[in-house]
Amino acid sequence: MLRRAFSLMLATALCSQPVLAQTASPLVTAQPAPGPAVAPYVTDLSAETAVSRDEKIRLLHEKVKYVFVVFNENRSFDHMFGSFPGANGLYADARGPRDAAHTPGFTQNWTDDRGATHTATPFRIGPDENASVADSVDHSHTGLARKLHVVDGKPTMDQFSAADYARVAKKGNDASITMANQFAQLVMAHVDCDTIPFFWNYANRFALFDNIFATEDTPSTPNAIAMIAGQAGETQWVKHGSAPQPASMGNHKGNLQNVPLVNDPQPFWGSQYDATKEGRQPDSPSESYADGNISVNQTYASLALTLAGRDLEAMLKTDRAPGTDLADIQQDIPFITGRAGNPVDWRWYQEGYNHEPYEAAGVASHVGYVSHHQGPQYFGYIANNPAFAGNLRGMGDFFADMKAGAMPKDGGVFYIRGGYSNVAAMTPPIQNANFPAALTDADKAAIARTKHGDDDHPGYSDHMISEAMAANVINAVAGNPELWAQSAIVITYDESDGFYDHVAPRILSYGPDGLPLARGVRIPLILISPFARAHVVSHAEGDHNAVIETINAIFDLPALSSLPEEKAALMSGEDPSFNGPNGFVQHHLGPRDTNTPETDDLLSGFDPARLAGTRALLPASYAMIDPAVVAALPHYQGKGCAAIGMTPTDQAQGIKAPPPANFNTLPSTLPAYN
């Protein structure tokens, strides 16, 4: 498809930015055409005085005390920001428009079981297609590996549609083939500011990162763990191997899923294999706890250890099973305590973990709890240790703690994660009651019943409810002047859900199954802070380790990759016995939160002049969204782009990419319309 030029206004804005010259892009580039609300805060990057990384870290350590991570679910970068101006998206990058021929995987092909050949290219869905409530596509480990389609060590990104077709068409009947063709199209869909205006507004006003990937080429669980550990068990694999571990307790028999984790098993702690009586971790009534769907105990290092600083040894004394929980961190413990670092508070707030405001008084139902998204619960030294387990809390607790001023006075790291429900008691908006056909009352009830989650996971969450959750978090932080003045907020995702993205991840490792392990498909990340650069895109390359690196820098923590046990495992993983396909040497079997060009941090998103105090901080009002607007669904009545003053790149280039004929955004929720 030929790409027309940007509109005159956008082209002029592009040409006015010297950083957008037709050469290799610098690490940070300006977004084009800032609107009147943003322009006063935009600075000339070409005139910026260089500041060393060490100096930037020193300033961050001095100025930032609170890190909030809004950790969402299952969206690729191109699915959310593929038409965002200035980003490396579907139709353009920082240098300007790009044609389909130079966009890997732009055209996807598959042949169905009836012998018909199909083609799909990226297309926009919005309010007319009820885009906020789309179904989930294939994000299994094997499906994602097929979507990457690695050839000669490099992903070609051209099997997204074929993989989704194959997943659904396996039954072989007419209904499954018709549904499979729908999913093969859905995987190529993308949204814009009409569907997610809040996320686009934050990206427009602060720093959007367009080169961050899922740590593991897997579904959610491994990446939820990687958010705090930089890996999903590679260290444990190197030390102990990957043979399935037999487990038996009472009437439960089966194999625990071993490391490295590549699926979505439940945490051992809280499962039927957990013999804990008092202080037991919760399970979820909405999750599968089949005997073969439970994870082995995770025993390698995570941020929970390094954040404890000099108090670590004392905190680990309350572990209920030190012989197993602490077996693989024996050398790490004295290394961390020997640094005598200040302990840093942390909390993981997750929907449904305990009693939530929408429940009647009494015992928590955990109905909103997605237990396989709860990264810390997989580690025995956290979940099986009262000194650490108290850091795990519910979503309602976050807002209660913020309202009561109960956040730690010395700062800390705070993860906020949604789930199957939402504490704001929002109902998903149906913006077009005639798509894909005239919806019946039963159809509307099915959408309301199944799409009211707030972690942005397609299939059970709603995009607008999810961005409302993020907005409520950001409003709570920005509404407290003391917190805002010392904060950094990260909005990011665990993995892509398998939605198409054109940027090939760097292949860093393969698992024992011979499939790519690291990295996975590109994900969104936005940095919000009074110290952030305004209206920029950072092209720093990384994954969840980039978040860990940044936390390390702010709180002066040792890199997980520098800890003795992890460092030794990284070296041992280079042994030929761990080689991947074609003799691929495994240099990255473990955390990689040490700064390198291939694994960068988020420091490029901070403005050195704001950190140094020579430029005014971004005000709290710049980050806040009117609570009445947050609460009103659909946001801006489905006209979000006009409301925030943005023009997506496809519209700016005059590209028409409507959904395919007879397309259904909900092929599994409303199969009658396939």
Could you report the per-residue pLDDT of 448-461, keeping only the tens digit for each? 999 999 999 999 99
Q: What percent of the chain has pLDDT over 90?
A: 92
For residue 601, the enclosing domain spans 8-435+452-486+519-673
Tell me, yes or no, whether 444 lies in a domain: no
Least confident stretch, 22-26, 221-225, 357-361, 492-496: 22-26
What pLDDT shows up at residue 49?
86
What pLDDT shows up at residue 186?
98
- Rounded mean pLDDT, 85-102: 96
Handedness of CA 600, 605, 606, 608 (dihedral sign): positive
On whether the CB atoms of residues 431 and 163 are closer than 8 A, the answer is: no
Tell me, yes or no, whether 478 lies in a domain: yes
Kindly indicate the confidence band of residue 478, based on its pLDDT and cuts at 50, 70 and 90: very high
Q: How far apart are CA 635 and CA 194, in angstroms?
A: 8
- Rounded mean pLDDT, 6-30: 48
Kindly indicate the confidence band of residue 17, based on its pLDDT and cuts at 50, 70 and 90: very low
What pLDDT shows up at residue 16?
30
Nearest to 106 by CA among 141, 78, 75: 78
Tell me, yes or no, whether 249 lies in a domain: yes
Tell me, yes or no, whether 511 lies in a domain: no
Instruction: Write the pLDDT tens digit of every residue in 545-590.
Output: 999 999 999 999 999 999 999 999 999 999 999 999 999 999 999 9
What pLDDT shows up at residue 20?
31
Domain count, the chain: 1
Q: How far apart are CA 355 and CA 367, in angstroms?
A: 10
Kindly indicate the confidence band of residue 363, based on its pLDDT and cuts at 50, 70 and 90: confident
Residue 22 has pLDDT above 60, yes or no: no
Q: How far apart are CA 657 and CA 107, in angstroms?
A: 13
- Rounded mean pLDDT, 43-51: 91
Name the DSSP class of 536.
E
**Collapsing DSSP states into helix, strand and coil, what is residue 498?**
coil
Residue 139 has pLDDT above 60, yes or no: yes
CB atoms within 10 A of CB 612: 15
Cα 475–chain centre separation: 20
Q: How far apart are CA 623 and CA 530, in angstroms?
A: 9
Q: How far apart are CA 370 and CA 355, in angstroms?
A: 14
Tell me, yes or no, whether 442 lies in a domain: no
> What is the residue whose two structure tokens read 């790519």?
516
Instruction: Write the pLDDT tens digit of every residue in 182-219.
Output: 999 999 999 999 999 999 999 999 999 999 999 999 99
Instruction: Write the pLDDT tens digit of every residue in 268-296.
Output: 999 999 999 999 999 999 999 999 999 99
> What is the residue whose two structure tokens read 């961390």?
336
Backbone dihedral angles phi then psi of residue 393, each to the nearest 5 degrees? -140, 175
What pLDDT shows up at residue 224?
98
Instruction: Write the pLDDT tens digit of every residue in 622-650.
Output: 999 999 999 999 999 999 999 999 999 99
- Rounded mean pLDDT, 417-440: 96
Q: How far apart are CA 311 and CA 71, in angstroms?
A: 27
Residue 417 has pLDDT above 60, yes or no: yes
Instruction: Write the pLDDT tens digit of every residue in 371-410.
Output: 999 999 999 999 999 999 999 999 999 999 999 999 999 9
What pLDDT shows up at residue 24?
57
DSSP per position, 45-103: GGGPPP--HHHHHHHHHHH--EEEEEEE-S--HHHHHTT-TTSS-SSEETTEE--GGGS
What pLDDT shows up at residue 249?
72
Tell me, yes or no, whether 142 lies in a domain: yes
What pLDDT shows up at residue 4?
32
Tell me, yes or no, whether 505 lies in a domain: no
Q: Where are the beta strands (DSSP E) in 157-238?
A: 189-190, 207-213
Tell me, yes or no, whether 510 lies in a domain: no
Residue 166 has pLDDT above 70, yes or no: yes
- Rounded mean pLDDT, 138-164: 97
